[in-house]
Structure 1
Amino acid sequence: MYVLTVDQRGSRRDIDRVAPLLKDLASAPLLRPFERTAGDEVQAVTADPDTVVDLALDLVRRAHWSIGVGIGTVEEPLPAQTRAGRGPAFEAARDAVERAKKAPAAIAVEAADPLAAADADAALTLLALLVSRRSTQGHAAVALAQRGLTQAESAAELGISKQAVSQRLIAAGWHAELAGRQLAARLLERADR
């Protein structure tokens, strides 16, 4: 099981970004949805490592969050409210988000198996660094590719040539991200065994 604990960075000097985040992520495929747990922190539960990767990179793209991923068991049945959950995955997520606040890419993974957690952490950190350094134009091209548009369709939507779309995807590291997503999901799954 995976628990994501996400804390807004610099919240004392910034607007409250939790309400818009909760609205944006309301339809995410989760066992327990994102819910405000305290102040500027939200938490969610999923059993799917691909969902963890998707959400983590979405949060990285938003650039205002420290992301902790806790892996392990949870007390079942899960309570109706995410914040009432208990178990090692919740504890690991708490430790992870605290470590993420000091991490280079603001993301951290914790699990009972420290080596497996470190591997998943490294993969997510590399992906997070790739995504966080992407240009606005790169994000736009990647968003269209993620929706399944061809380069020709993306070019028409962006008002640029197909070759320019290709160049933006290359500069954005889109193909590396695809491979990295698969690797990160496999390593998260391994850490949950």
Structure 2
Amino acid sequence: MFVITADQRDSRSGDDLVPKAIDDVVRLAGIRATSTPERTAGDELQVADRDADAVLAIVLHLTRLGTWSVGVGIGAVEAPLPASVRAGRGEAFVYARDAVERAKRTPTRLAVTGSDEAATDAEALVRLMVELRDRRTAEGWEVYDLLADGMSQRDAAKRLGITEGAVSLRAKAAGLRAEEGALPALGRVLAGADKPDGDGDGDGAA
């Protein structure tokens, strides 16, 4: 099981971002979400999920915002998972607490904690992706968002009022193809980290 604990950065000097972030997490987790995200303490939110791809999407979204420190715990939880994620217990919850505290001290605002080297590998690779995205310019993100919405490069060029060649250059500079190619592999790495015993589960009793 994956448990994400995210803590709002500089929350005392800004607006409460938890409600909007919870809405975003619900959208990204989709209908197969294992738990409903909730505010835990203060300006923190927490969610548990079995889907590595959904977890990766949530992590990349929250780190893109720059307003969250994001910790991912990977491990067993006590089953059945309670209706409220705040009442959840197990090593994944403990690891998520460790991870979010470490995330607060890292430039990528992200940490992943688990019981073995698979979690360490996942952390290193996801951090590389976050660093790639952190270098992306506003213009690169414009193209990213339009293409992510299903637009072709031609349509994106029309929307932005630039040439199709300029869109291609922006996409290249933003590393969009590199990200697109790496995401499935990152999802598999995360999924593998949730199966340290090769039992295909990872969310059994702690």
Structure 1 position 134, deviation (Å): 1.2
Q: Give the 5 Å matches for 1:37-186.
A: 37-113=40-116, 115-186=117-188
Specify every segment of 5 or more residues in structure 1 that has no aligned partner in the other structure, as ranges. none
Structure 2 unaligned regions, length at least 5: 196-206
Deviations for 1:146-170, whole angstroms, at most 9, x for unmatched residues?
Answer: 2222111211222221111111111
Tell me the CA shift for residue 179 of structure 1: 2.4
Percent identity (aligned): 46
Structure 1 segments, 4+ long, off by >3 Å, are none
Paired letter, 2:63? V
TM-score (norm 2): 0.89
The alpha-carbon deviation at position 26 of structure 1 amounts to: 2.8
Tell me the TM-score normalised to structure 1 length: 0.94
Across the aligned residues of Structure 1 and Structure 2, the Cα RMSD in angstroms comes to 1.3
Partner of 1:26: 26
SS at 1:109 equivalent: strand
Count residues with an aligned counterpart. Answer: 192
Contact 1:63 1:132 in 2 (8 A): no
Letter matched to residue 100 of structure 2: V
